[in-house]
Amino acid sequence: MGNSSEVQCDKYYGHGKRFVGRAKELMMLDRWFSNPEAPLTIFSVTGMGGIGKSSLLSEMLSVARNQGATAIWMDGRSCGSTPSVFLEYLSSTLGLETMRSDGNPRPLSLLSETSVQKRLVLAVDNYEELALLESWFMEVFVSKLPLYGVLIILASRPEPASAWRTHPRLQQRLVQMPLQHFTCEEVSEYISVVGSLNKSTAGTIARVTDGHPLGLALAVEAADQRRNIPLSDWTELSQMISARLLLELTLPRLHPMVEVLTLLETANQELLASVLQTEVTLEEYNVLRRMSFIRSGPNGLALHDMARLHLLRDFRQREPQRLQAMRVRIAGLLKPLHEQAGPHERRQIARKMLLLCQESMLQHRKYADVSADSLFSPMEVMRAEDLPALHKLLRQWCEYSMEPWQAPSYPAFLDELAHRYPEGIVLMRDKDGEPIAMFITVLVHRESSGMLSSYFPNEMQECFTPEELNCDPDQTDTHFAVLAAARDDVPGYKREELVGYMSLDRLSLLGEGARVILIATNPHLKLFLQSIGFRSRRARTRLCDLYADQANVLDLDLRSGQFGDWVMSLLGLDTKSSGLQQGTSGVSQVPWSEQDVRKMLTHLHSPGELHEYASRVNGMTDGIHLQTHILDLLEGRIHGISQQDQMLLYAAYWTHAGNPTAAAQACSMSRATFYRHLRAALIRLARVL
């Protein structure tokens, strides 16, 4: 355990939970505060889930405040994926921490005012969630901090990226702190100060939990409450934590609150009460806060990640319909809060809403059927030693995604990206830790756009204006999705399922205030992305086409303030569809003629004129609804007509309405050929309607 005179490591934290152990790590913190120069230092706290990273961060911040430093806690899951969002979050957190002292109207100015006498400790929990920002964080943010009086603490599951360990300026400032299981002495101390157990029970717990902090905490809590839990359920708690055990440790009247926490990363007392539509007393809230698998933070209570995973699986298996209904109810509650909140809080709420709708997208989109996603660990940024395996993935991807003449530039691109912006390459691993899939996205700004334009000149011209390519790195808000590659020999999975899973994982990181854009040729990918809200337009040239598949530019822009409506549409899509079908099942349908369709399409730009036709189409309630439905057909978001018919009808009645000469030219046809094919397209659309 270490000398008791080194660091006092037996303290209360988090409203009644006692901190035990980690003497070596706390001694490093004490040395930094004892150093009269206090050089800029980065602590990297790493380890498996449940090993105690968040607890150590809480204790370090408590020590820092006792030393008179400004101590800031940030959650990587709320930091956003663009520099501007990160800086707004940091500004808000700094302002909240210091508002009682000097009322500084410009909180970020505190960063430049930091000194040996006025120290700052900045802790980022779940740092791996900042993967897309890692290069910016290292090269821009950290480089602008004072060289003295600043301590950065980064907590993450994976070890720090090799870029940290080889960085010419930062490697000497990096202190790695890989956390291990508790030693026998630490286990004994934990049991003695936290529980009131007899020696036999204490010995059993120490033996079966193998020093895993979360497993140890759960076992002590169960024994201390004298719950009748079989010894077999405790066995190897360091590896197996079941939903049944977690619920057994929870008082029945608190189960609804735990259910809410399985769907929300964090919730305070007020939010819990709003979701449950009943009072949550302070006594109940404090009981939750003291439970071993629930953490307390600035934004309320949160389940430990491992506990949340087990409870969510259990909830999904037991009552999937009630689970989905609760998601919809929570999203409906968060939507007005999101619209009324300030910039930083709005982005935190956006994160909660994205998590609610992510599983709906997984469940209801065939392209992204990843029902067994629990087998995979979270996606993580590549490491230098992964590069050979990623090149193998890339070669396979080029074989089925590229024309032969396009492939040679990709290996060099992968090498340069891995060197300059490794955070843009995230991957999935199998149970043995081998990469099985990778996804590449790049934040577009004046420094990265030169590299992108050298490898993808046609794509850059299709997707971006010169002003966007020259954007300042601190102001960028657009991610360019380059590729998603996956092995085709993973047992139980198709390549497309892995690609779909990765796409949704990257989408969940965007939040509000960012945009993603890409070039797509795969027809199934186009339909999938359009079905979840991506806008699509045909590429202006044919230079990005893949064989017979024409390239489209697709983008999802979450900068327009419609984020809440987008989430609600995803959550309520199936419900709406079924309701519409039920509501219109008794409508008498009149067959459509070619002339009917032609007349209706002439009013496509005027929803009011379309209203008289709405009742003739299943599920349509008014002209606006019918206009949306027709455009979905013509733009390929829903199935029904061929790509050529889409092109003909879209040109004739939408982009070049009233100008048949321009429409024929857009379709590369003479007017006579255009009219002949257009009539056939109208007849086929009449059959669909």
Q: What is the CA radius of gyration of the chain?
A: 28
Assign 7 a pLDDT band (cuts: 50, 70, 90).
very low
Which pLDDT does position 156 carry in this prediction? 87
Pair (401, 537) in one structural domain? yes
Pair (67, 155) in one structural domain? yes
DSSP H helices in 617-659: 623-634, 643-650
Q: Are 504 and 358 in contact (CB under 8 A)?
A: yes
- Please compute the mean of the pLDDT values over residues 247-274 and round it to a whole number: 83
**Strand 535-538 to 478-486 pairing:** unpaired
Assign 343 a pLDDT band (cuts: 50, 70, 90).
low
CA distances to 212, 263, 312, 319 from 242, rounded to whole Å, are: 15, 18, 11, 17
Pair (158, 188) in one structural domain? no
CA distances to 27, 91, 134, 184, 336 from 341, rounded to whole Å, are: 41, 16, 28, 48, 8
Assign 632 a pLDDT band (cuts: 50, 70, 90).
confident
Pair (298, 348) in one structural domain? yes
**Strand 150-156 to 120-125 pairing:** parallel
Asked if the structure places residue 464 within a domain, the reply is yes
CA-to-CA distance for 252 and 307, rounded, in angstroms?
Answer: 17
Q: Are 252 and 241 in contact (CB under 8 A)?
A: no
Of 156, 178, 200, the residue at which a domain comes to its end is 178
Pair (310, 248) in one structural domain? yes
Residue 380 has pLDDT above 90, yes or no: no
Residue 241 has pLDDT above 60, yes or no: no
Q: Read off the tokens for 502.
A: 């990765």
Which pLDDT does position 237 carry in this prediction? 44
Which pLDDT does position 671 carry in this prediction? 75
Pair (629, 604) in one structural domain? yes
Cα of 516 vs its chain's centroid, Å: 13
Sign of CA dihedral 502, 440, 133, 462: negative
CA-to-CA distance for 359 and 371, rounded, in angstroms?
Answer: 9
- Please compute the mean of the pLDDT values over residues 45-72 and round it to a whole number: 87
Asked if the structure places residue 3 within a domain, the reply is no
Task: Indicate the average pLDDT of the chain.
Answer: 78
Per-residue pLDDT tens digits for 281-297: 888 888 888 777 787 77
Percent of the chain with pLDDT over 90: 18
Lowest mean pLDDT among 17-31, 99-113, 272-286, 398-412: 99-113
Pair (554, 623) in one structural domain? no
CA-to-CA distance for 20 and 56, rounded, in angstroms?
Answer: 10
CA-to-CA distance for 569 and 320, rounded, in angstroms?
Answer: 19
Which pLDDT does position 1 carry in this prediction? 31
Lowest mean pLDDT among 83-87, 487-491, 669-673: 669-673
- Please compute the mean of the pLDDT values over residues 613-626 and round it to a whole number: 78
Per-residue pLDDT tens digits for 90-114: 888 887 776 644 555 577 888 888 8
Of residues 676 and 442, the one with the higher pLDDT is 442
Amino acid letter, residue 418:
A
Pair (638, 658) in one structural domain? yes
Task: Give the dihedral of Cα atoms 513, 516, 517, 522; nearest 10 deg.
Answer: -150
Which pLDDT does position 595 carry in this prediction? 80
The DSSP code for 52 is S
Lowest mean pLDDT among 304-318, 387-401, 521-535: 304-318
- Please compute the mean of the pLDDT values over residues 501-510 and round it to a whole number: 70
Residue 14 has pLDDT above 70, yes or no: no
Residue 157 has pLDDT above 90, yes or no: no
Q: Which of 52, 366, 312, 98 is nearest to 190 (CA)?
A: 52
CA-to-CA distance for 517 and 676, rounded, in angstroms?
Answer: 36
Pair (441, 327) in one structural domain? no
Pair (538, 463) in one structural domain? yes
Asked if the structure places residue 370 within a domain, the reply is no
Q: Which of 516, 521, 544 is nearest to 458 (CA)?
A: 544
Per-residue pLDDT tens digits for 348-358: 777 778 778 76
Is 642 strand, coil or helix? coil
Pair (265, 127) in one structural domain? no
Burial-class residue 668 by CB neighbours within 10 Å (0-12, 13-18, 19+).
exposed
Which pLDDT does position 605 carry in this prediction? 83
Q: What is the CATH number of the domain that holds 41?
A: 3.40.50.300
Instruction: Count the domains in the chain.
Output: 5
Asked if the structure places residue 111 within a domain, the reply is yes
Q: What is the CATH number of the domain that holds 530?
A: 3.40.630.30
Q: Read off the tokens for 322.
A: 């009630």
Task: Give the dihedral of Cα atoms 541, 547, 553, 556; nearest 10 deg.
Answer: 180
The CB density around residue 40, as the number of other CB atoms within 10 Å, is 18
Residue 260 has pLDDT above 60, yes or no: yes
Amino acid letter, residue 280:
V
Asked if the structure places residue 442 within a domain, the reply is yes
Of 142, 163, 178, the residue at which a domain comes to its end is 178
Residue 404 has pLDDT above 90, yes or no: no
In degrees, rounded to 5, the angle at the alpha carbon of residue 177 between the alpha carbons of residues 176 and 181 is 150
Asked if the structure places residue 362 within a domain, the reply is no
Which H or E element spans position 125?
A: strand 120-125
Residue 331 has pLDDT above 70, yes or no: yes
- Please compute the mean of the pLDDT values over residues 660-689 and round it to a whole number: 80
Of residues 196 and 169, the one with the higher pLDDT is 169
Assign 587 a pLDDT band (cuts: 50, 70, 90).
very low
Asked if the structure places residue 537 within a domain, the reply is yes
Pair (452, 557) in one structural domain? yes
Q: Which of 107, 115, 160 is nearest to 138 (CA)?
A: 160
Assign 636 a pLDDT band (cuts: 50, 70, 90).
confident
Q: Which residues constitute the domain of residue 522?
A: 380-571
Task: Give the dihedral of Cα atoms 384, 413, 368, 551; nearest 10 deg.
Answer: 180
Residue 356: half-sphere exposure toward Cβ, Cα within 13 Å: 32
Q: Position of tokens 């009630």? A: 322
- Please compute the mean of the pLDDT values over residues 324-333 and round it to a whole number: 87
Of 232, 266, 294, the residue at which a domain comes to its end is 232
In degrees, rounded to 5, the angle at the alpha carbon of residue 622 between the alpha carbons of residues 618 and 624 is 110
Which pLDDT does position 32 carry in this prediction? 95
Is 91 strand, coil or helix? helix
DSSP H helices in 509-622: 523-531, 563-571, 573-583, 594-601, 607-614
Asked if the structure places residue 582 within a domain, the reply is no
Assign 347 a pLDDT band (cuts: 50, 70, 90).
low
Assign 640 a pLDDT band (cuts: 50, 70, 90).
low
CA distances to 240, 245, 324, 501, 510 from 317, rounded to whole Å, are: 18, 16, 12, 20, 29
